[in-house]
Amino acid sequence: MIYFSAIINLSANLAKLARTLFTDAIHFMALLARSRAALAAENLFLRKQLAFYQERDRVELNSDPWDQRGRSKGSVTKLNHSRSKGSVTKLNHSHLSPTPLDL
């Protein structure tokens, strides 16, 4: 009885693995069929989107939530000073400039 349940469990795991391999192979074939220009355009879009989110996070770090609630800035000066010890740097976006495509 124990062997039978182990065989059933093993066959279920093998079926799951075969299904995963099949879907990954189909996905890989679809990626191979895409043109180089489409991949370059998607890459450029994703880089710009990443830069946008990184910039947004940097701006959120610099904004003080206590100021938004109407409290005085003097009460949180030490907190802001300890939080801004060089942990936020200016982003370099020079790598986002479009490059000619090799077609």
Report the C-alpha gap between 47 and 45 in whole angstroms.
Answer: 5
Report the C-alpha gap between 90 and 64 in whole angstroms.
Answer: 18
Residues 1 and 26 in one domain: yes
Average pLDDT score, the chain: 76
Is residue 39 domain-resident? yes
Map tokens 């800035």 to a residue.
73
Number of domains in the chain: 2
Is residue 9 domain-resident? yes
Residue 44 structural domain: 35-67
0.85 cut: is pTM over it? no
Is residue 99 domain-resident? no
Residues 63 and 41 in one domain: yes
pLDDT in tens, 18-68: 999 999 999 999 989 989 999 999 999 999 999 999 988 887 666 665 655
> What pLDDT is recorded for position 76?
47
